[in-house]
Amino acid sequence: PTKARPIQMNEQLLHYCQKEIKDLLSKNLIRPSKIPWSCATFFVNKQAELERGTSRLVINYKPLNQAL
């Protein structure tokens, strides 16, 4: 199993991340997991996200793909 360390975020970004995750959970797009695998998440601010006015949540699956 891969275990990723959380990427450091400032307080404002951490708050936004928690809000996004709660929103995804409430929409049943993601679900809680108890398995030992984890991947790091971070936000991307490319031009499309800047036009929308929100950051995009991204999951780094590289370590998982290498393990499989």
Work out the average pLDDT over 46-54: 78
Dihedral Cα 12, 32, 59, 38, nearest 10 deg: 110
Q: What angle do CA 20, 60, 55 make, to 5 degrees?
A: 35
Q: Does residue 2 have a pLDDT over 90?
A: no
Tokens at residue 25, please?
A: 């959970």
Q: How many domains does the chain have?
A: 1
What is the structure's pLDDT at 25? 95
Q: Does residue 34 have a pLDDT over 80?
A: yes
Mean model confidence pLDDT for the chain: 85
Work out the average pLDDT over 15-28: 92
Domain that holds residue 21: 11-67
In a domain, 3, yes or no: no
In a domain, 63, yes or no: yes
What pTM was estimated for this model as a whole? Answer: 0.68
Strands in 1-68 per DSSP E: 41-44, 56-59
Asked if residue 7 lies in contact with residue 42, where contact means CB atoms within 8 angstroms, the answer is yes
